[in-house]
Structure 1
Amino acid sequence: MGSIQGVSLFLLGVTLSLLPSPVQGGKILVFPVDGSHWVNMNLLIQSLHAKGHEVTVVRTATSWYVKEEAPHYSSITVTLPEAVCIEEQDFYVTFLVKMLEIQKQGASLMAFMTFYWEMTDSLSKIHQQASLLGVEIFENKTLMSKIRDSKFDLVLVDPGLPVGVIVAHKLKLPVVFNVRWITSGEGHFVVAPSPTSYVPTSGNAVSNKMTFSERVKNTFHYFLNTCIDKFIVCPPYDKIVEKYLGPDVNFYHLLQGVDLWLMRVDFVFEFPRPTMPNIVYIGGFQCKPAEALPSELEEFVESSGEHGFILMSLGTLVNGLPIEITSEIAAAFAQLPQKVVWRHAGERPNNVGNNTLLVKWMPQNDLLGHPKIKAFVAHGGTNGIYESMYHGVPIIGIPLLFDQFENILRMEVRGAAKMVDVTKITQQNFLKVLQEVLINPSYRNNMKRLSALHRDRPMHPLDAAVYWIEFVMRHKGAAHLRTESYKMPWYVYHSVDVISFLLAILFMLTAFVVAVIRFTCLRMCRRRKPKQE
């Protein structure tokens, strides 16, 4: 009996020795992006802190989401000469007002040019300001010494503002991206092959089944995005890289050469596309089961009876909608038998019905998980899309800015959402869309199917994210998962030299064959002439 126990203990010891050793108290330096991006990063930081890791967050003095003090991280606060405009609470509202004016002009060439002028001007300003964070860090010798002396194990970066990857390279530390968006748009376009024949380009709201004209437009958008990134976005960072890292370092190569990409994408939502070994998909990692609602809110939604209730949230951007639009929405809601919970912090709309409750804040995830929820009126932000999909709630989409049009389109293609043009909303057409989604069971059934697919995975995506961060820390990087193709010249990457070589050989063989045939024909002609004479 004792020998059997001894063998069992020996086998258990061998098994445990083969398991990867846990990372005890690792040190992680974090470069986040403010606003809605911080919601995702903060959740990841909380999970890392719960696993015993020491997290330090780099923030600016004007940051309005990333607080200087928190129980789950310490912070390094950097004062910039001027605030990064996306850290100003009214930036998105002001930008939305401009975009709405442009959208009202329709699909004219002038509207298109005006849109891209405003977009590039804003991007240039944002990245000029954000790049100064790197300058302030590198010029502050005391701060750099403090960061070096902290002996961090890893740098976690949101590459929407990519200064962190430059600092990490200077410190010679492995880098993990918490990413969907990067300087040039959707993150895949930097690290993975992206054929424009079936991969929609950032900013172009089409499906992966494109007509010829859509493919032409998609290729044009890809070229335009590449030019904007090269000539508008990257120059401020190129200057920092050249000054502090040397002329042999390429900023774009720093982005492509990071160890691991935690991609906030799930292919239940995203269209299938090529990927790479160092991309880990964590789409919907912020989703969780619903908790009990506050008593007043619970009483309101329960009073909806068999009709249930509708949830509406356009985030902070709702403040930028003219009251004539919100009043049309309110008038449509007033005609429904359902109750409505509407997150609205701006001017109170006209025509608000007795069935509508306006709130400045609400537990969105808990409301989406309530059994009486019937539909979600949303602007198409990624967090809301995934929460709605997780709980199986169909969407009425009112996209306003950026990727929201693409997000709603992806759900619409799958039959789980219906899109409404915000500039053309009237009481009548909005009510018609509401009734279609509420009455037609296909929308709910399709979303329930997506929910089942989204939930059916071996590990919760948040646990997967923490595991892979610890994996990179354990192994001091993940170079074995990273392709070196980004170091190739463009003509080598696209095999232009190989194709040219093969074409040259083919040309020489063709020329040789033609020469032989011609020579043979001439000899035969010369032989025939004497015989004829």
Structure 2
Amino acid sequence: MKPFTFLFFSAATLLCYASAFKVVLLPTPFVSHMNYFEPLALELHQSGHETYLVLSDSFRARQRLTDKGLNILTYDSKGTCEIDTDDFFKRVTIGMIDNGGDPGVLGKLVAPAIESECSKFLLDIELLEKGKKIGFDLAVVDGLFFARCLYIWPKELNIPYITLTTLQDFWRARVPAPPSFVPFHYSSFGERMTYLERFANVFMSVFFALSTTSPPLSQVIRDRYKDSSADFESLATKSKLWMFNTDFSIDYAKPSLPNIIHVGGMSLNSTKPLPELFAKFVAKSNRIVVVTFGSVISQLPNYIVEKMIDAFRQSPFQFVWRLPKAKEFSIPDNVLAVDWIPQNDLLGHEKTVAFVTHSGNNGQFEALYHAVPMVALPIFADQIYNSLRMEAKNYGVRLSMHKFTSQQLKEALEKVADNKEIKANLVKGSMILRDRPLNARKRAVYWIEHVIKYGDRHLRSYGIDMPWYQYLLLDVAVGYALLFGFLIYLIKRAFVYVSANAQNWIGTSKNKKKTH
């Protein structure tokens, strides 16, 4: 082969496998969800792909994302994106604390806001037409169970899609995950359950699988998207790939399938120098504790804040606390309370000895990455599950946000900061998390490219396409039940026949003996 011809075919082959694809990301615009959608979008962009995010035109961080070079497609929010407002965050925080984290209350608070955003998104026909003109190769859809309406959009565009989710929806992904040792994601159980816990776990798992968890679609949307909305709850099962925002370094070991990819820790980064305000405070401190409760839980009730202040005042540590309403309280000298903190950079600082957290998924990964012991104060949703798995790994301790005392918090901080076993477990866990051929972001991009290029047939279990009753072997169970029932019937008939004829057989036998 001539050199020129060889180079031509080599270049053509490389271009074929290194093509720039058009990928659209459909997140639910919660800050916590953007904490893993944004890094994925940036990694796709840096890998040469044409990447788009679909967001409300009222989403507050939209300009910041545009400044980073990301393409933003917006839908008309009619003036506000409710789930990105401080008032919404406050209602959720107070509602969950006042009701003990009740999932039913959470649904009543969140579902209407999600339904409103879904309606605005799906009724923006101009946005849909833009999507058709761009010609996306694939969509990445947020798998939040309240927001399954998002799947309608790629269905209408007739493009493949994958699911990115923190909720490990084993039923819709058809992963055989026995509830005997796989706890339901929103339960308060670990992997080692008692009989009663296993009993309850089966009920919760079955109830979630059978229930319709998304808010109902309006009639206007159903009329406009007749084919796609007919059974939009089932669209998730048609995902080409499931990317679970978790990792075995922090979670329980669970069954999996080839189309299940673990991408926990996509927001992880090495540390940067601290801004001046924080650098000065840390410089004059001995041992730092980072305190933050995420984006949604930003408005803690005053009585909880006062308990924390009392615990911090008695503590030998110095605290950097994300507390938006700090001016309303008497803050001790050993506490720096501000509206925003560089969480990752503080957790990665050598003086940081503990992390007080609500057990949000992203914060847990950052603490593990930097091997920082945790004191968990979970409130709702997956935070309780996250705190249990953290405690099971011995990465820290868990307290009740509803019942903790100042003394308990003070003692918990001292315990985790000075416990060598906890620190050793975290160091090992951090090494397990870091020691991979690809980090979580690059792993996610690799599999997105893989599915676009090759499809999903070689990854997809036939179990996904089976009718639910066949997947659960209910038809086989019915067959065995009928067979067992038939055998019982035969045995019973045989018994009746033997009983009815026993006397005749005995009489006949006696007569034969007399004859002889």
TM range (shorter): 0.7 to 0.9
- 1:136 CA displacement: 1.0
Q: TM-score, normalised by structure 1?
A: 0.85
- 1:175 CA displacement: 0.6
- 1:387 CA displacement: 0.4
Equivalent residue for 1:174?
A: 160
Equivalent residue for 1:37?
A: 33
Distance 1:419 1:513 in 2: 58
- 1:50 CA displacement: 1.1
Equivalent residue for 2:61?
A: 65
Equivalent residue for 1:213?
A: 196
- Contact preservation (8 Å) 2:222, 2:229: no
Equivalent residue for 1:204?
A: 187
- Contact preservation (8 Å) 1:312, 1:343: yes
Which of 328, 332, 348 is equivalent to 1:369?
A: 348
Deviations 1:91-150 (A, max 9, x none): 1211211222223xxxxxxxx9xx35423322431342133145314xx2x543332121
Equivalent residue for 1:355?
A: 334
- 1:403 CA displacement: 1.4
Which of 435, 438, 452 is equivalent to 2:414?
A: 435
Equivalent residue for 1:158?
A: 142
Matched, 1:465 2:426: no
* Aligned residue identity for 2:58: T
Range with bigger deviation, 399-408 or 187-196: 187-196
- Contact preservation (8 Å) 1:38, 1:65: no
Equivalent residue for 1:445?
A: 424
Deviations 1:501-527 (A, max 9, x none): 233234334544554566567666434
Distance 1:414 1:262 in 2: 23
Q: Which runs of 5 or more structure 1 residues have no equivalent in the other structure? A: 1-5, 104-111
- 1:338 CA displacement: 2.3
Which of 261, 268, 272 is equivalent to 1:287?
A: 268
Distance 2:337 2:160 in 1: 46
Matched, 1:332 2:314: no
Distance 2:160 2:423 in 1: 43
Number of residue pairs matched? Answer: 504
- 1:46 CA displacement: 0.9
- 1:159 CA displacement: 2.5
Equivalent residue for 1:128?
A: 115
Equivalent residue for 1:93?
A: 90
* Aligned residue identity for 1:174: P
* Aligned residue identity for 1:507: G
- 1:82 CA displacement: 7.4
Query: For residues 248 and 510 of structure 1, do their structure 2 counterparts lie closer, same or farther at Cα, with a shift above 3 Å needed?
Result: farther
* Aligned residue identity for 1:498: V
Query: For residues 238 and 18 of structure 1, do their structure 2 counterparts lie closer, same or farther at Cα, with a shift above 3 Å needed?
Result: farther
- Contact preservation (8 Å) 2:318, 2:335: yes
- Contact preservation (8 Å) 1:331, 1:352: no
1:7-18 matches, cutoff 5 A: none
Distance 1:247 1:22 in 2: 32
SS of aligned partner of 2:291? strand
- Contact preservation (8 Å) 2:148, 2:214: no
Q: Which runs of 5 or more structure 2 residues have no equivalent in the other structure? A: 512-516
Report percent identity of matched pairs.
27
Which of 165, 172, 176 is equivalent to 1:190?
A: 172
- Contact preservation (8 Å) 1:174, 1:258: yes
- 1:289 CA displacement: 2.0
* Aligned residue identity for 1:167: W
Matched, 1:489 2:470: no
Query: For residues 416 and 143 of structure 1, do their structure 2 counterparts lie closer, same or farther at Cα, with a shift above 3 Å needed?
Result: closer
Matched, 1:268 2:249: yes
1:452-531 matches, cutoff 5 A: 452-475=431-454, 477-512=455-490, 515=493, 519=497, 525-530=503-508
Distance 2:41 2:197 in 1: 40
SS of aligned partner of 1:479? coil
Range with bigger deviation, 320-329 or 29-38: 320-329
Range with bigger deviation, 196-205 or 422-431: 422-431
Q: TM-score, normalised by structure 2?
A: 0.88
* Aligned residue identity for 1:253: S
Distance 2:9 2:73 in 1: 43
SS of aligned partner of 1:491? helix
